[in-house]
Amino acid sequence: MKSSPSQLRVAIVQQVCGSEREKNLAATLDAIHKAAESGARLVLLQELHTSLYFCQTENPALFDLAEAIPGPSTRTLGEIARKLNIVIVASLFEKRAVGLYHNTAVVIEADGEIAGCYRKMHIPDDPGYYEKFYFTPGDLGFQPIQTSVGKLGVLVCWDQWYPEAARLMALAGADLLLYPTAIGWGTQESDESEKQRQRSAWMLIQRAHAVANGLTVLVANRTGFEPSIPGSSQGIQFWGSSFIAGPQGEILSEASQDHPEILIADIDLLRHESVRRGWPFLRDRRIENYQGITQRYLD
């Protein structure tokens, strides 16, 4: 089925990752093929999809997982994007230089070329998520990437908790907001109510970005258990739940918590304008009174 001029069929790949890069990539490519067969013109992959989520520990040897951009993954993804005539958003561990690494989302155009990159700006440093050890904060700003399916406001995981990032992408003309993600529960979490509150808050904040900016939001998360070190019973149970929310925060499609899945949805691009006309949040912003937003805290 082909999308109409006002509609864009999109797909999210939610997968389980293991320790073997080639197996992970093969599973990704198979899912991309299936998404394209379903008529998707845009495919979003989860954060760091070629490996286990290695940031659970601080280990200098794991810098060997990083790759150049352009590099092996972008070449492989470029070939399939060109073959299937689709746009792919992929999250990679970028080796920019010796000792300089980023968590980078790459947008591959339908002709197989790199349309642009976004380097993750907000870098967490929490138990199980020691990303500051591996990633230098991004330096490309919050700039949407122009593609044949529109201007993509690509952000990565921890960025999704910050309304400023979503708003700046919207102000720069993003047509969609996309979040490759790796989030779940640590094995030390035993309170089921607390676990569900965390998952609910994660969905709620991103649905709020959709509402505040009048844009559809696509969120791709990992699923499955990944040990902190090989053979360990400690680690993260990634909670899946990848989803697509419309410009009023409505859920258009949602994946399971614990299974690999290809999520498909049709986005009505004209509806963004209709919603923004009814809820003109950008018009009514009082920008002359927002100076404090650039301060760490207003003492």
Please check whether residue 63 is in contact with residue 134, taking contact to mean a CB–CB distance below 8 angstroms: yes
Sign (positive or negative) of CA dihedral 192, 198, 201, 207: negative
Measured CA to CA in angstroms, residue 283 lies from 119, 177, 212, 216, 287 at distances of: 29, 20, 12, 19, 10
β-pair type (87-97, 42-45): parallel
Among the listed residues 120, 226, 254, 261, the single catalytic one is 120
- Distance between first and last Cα of the chain: 56
Active site residue 120: yes
Is 47 catalytic? The answer is yes
Q: Is 157 a catalytic residue?
A: yes
Identify whether the C-beta of residue 62 lies closer than 8 Å to the C-beta of residue 134. yes
C-alpha distances in angstroms, 212 versus 168, 170, 250, 275, 277? Answer: 12, 10, 13, 11, 13
**From 157, 226, 254, 261, the catalytic residue:** 157
Catalogue the active-site residues. 47, 120, 157
